[in-house]
Amino acid sequence: MADEAKFGIEKLDELLGGGLDRYTENLIIGRSGIGKTILAAHWAAEGARNDETVVYLSTTMNRKNCELYLGKFPFMQEVYKKIKWRFIRVDPKFILPLTREKIVQGLNATFGMDGKDIDRVIFDSCTDLELALADQVLYRRAMAYMSDLSYEYEITSLWIEEAPMQGEWSSTKNIVDSVIFLNLLRTEEGYQRAMRILKKYRTKIPLEWIPYDITEEGVVILDGYLVKKGYDYEYKRG
């Protein structure tokens, strides 16, 4: 395998220094409807395209609507069935009291295979785990256990998290090696989807917002950057 786990989106991989570092924990965070799942699906598809074993854990979709939604993108056409899709509901009774052994048992049962045979894992979304545990200390402990297991089994992981409309993010950002933040920015022309690479160890990353669109082809990175010019707003009569 290559040293980096690529998304298969040329410009994004270039900005990430070739892709995500192998055997690391990584995070995509953003509000609902911004394209987190589609971006993660690009990463899953690229792994499957390179004959890696990819497991996609989804707490937000079922098998049918996942196939109708993600399976229709061109980048998924030849590899959708190669991905190990797992559709789960996080139930705290299966992981409490929270121990490393419980996490291992739960993941092995969910994966349906030994962790050492897996190359890439997507957890969509870890927000459901946070809500199910309803305790920040337990959540941090669970994420730390899963992070340790990824390093032990040499798995590259990508976690998806819902950004709150108000208030602080969870502590996931402090555990992972890289963070990609997806957002909707107001511009002179209206609104534009944009991402920022907030953290990427060992890589020189741009500080500016990177504009992107969601098209029938999936996520498309646009040319240039978005730079904040001020705080002024214009009143428009409705």
Report d(CA 18, CA 219) in Å as an integer: 17
Predicted pLDDT of residue 58: 96
Residue 19 lies in a domain: yes
DSSP notation for 138-190: HHHHHHHHHHHHHHHHT-EEEEEEEPPSSS---THHHHSSEEEEEEEEEETTE
Domain containing 113 equals 4-221
Residue 193 lies in a domain: yes
For the chain, 238 residues long, give each residue's pLDDT as a single digit of tens: 778 999 999 999 999 999 999 999 999 999 999 999 999 999 999 999 999 999 999 999 999 999 999 999 999 999 999 999 999 998 888 888 889 888 888 888 888 888 889 999 999 999 999 999 989 899 999 999 999 988 999 999 999 999 987 778 888 999 999 999 999 998 888 899 999 999 998 899 998 999 999 999 999 999 999 988 775 556 556 5
Residue appearing with tokens 């989807």: 193
| CATH code where residue 151 lies | 3.40.50.300
Number of independent structural domains in the chain: 1
Predicted pLDDT of residue 155: 96
Residue 117 lies in a domain: yes
Predicted pLDDT of residue 126: 93
Residue 227 lies in a domain: no
CB 88 within 8 A of CB 110: yes
Predicted pLDDT of residue 103: 87
Amino acid at 62: N
CB 47 within 8 A of CB 54: yes
pTM to 2 decimal places: 0.92
Predicted pLDDT of residue 231: 55
Task: Look up residue 134 and give its two tokens.
Answer: 């309803």
Residue 230 lies in a domain: no
Predicted pLDDT of residue 176: 94
Predicted pLDDT of residue 170: 85
Predicted pLDDT of residue 229: 75
Residue 238 lies in a domain: no
Exposed, middle or buried, 156 (CB in 10 Å: 0-12/13-18/19+)? buried
Report d(CA 155, CA 149) in Å as an integer: 8
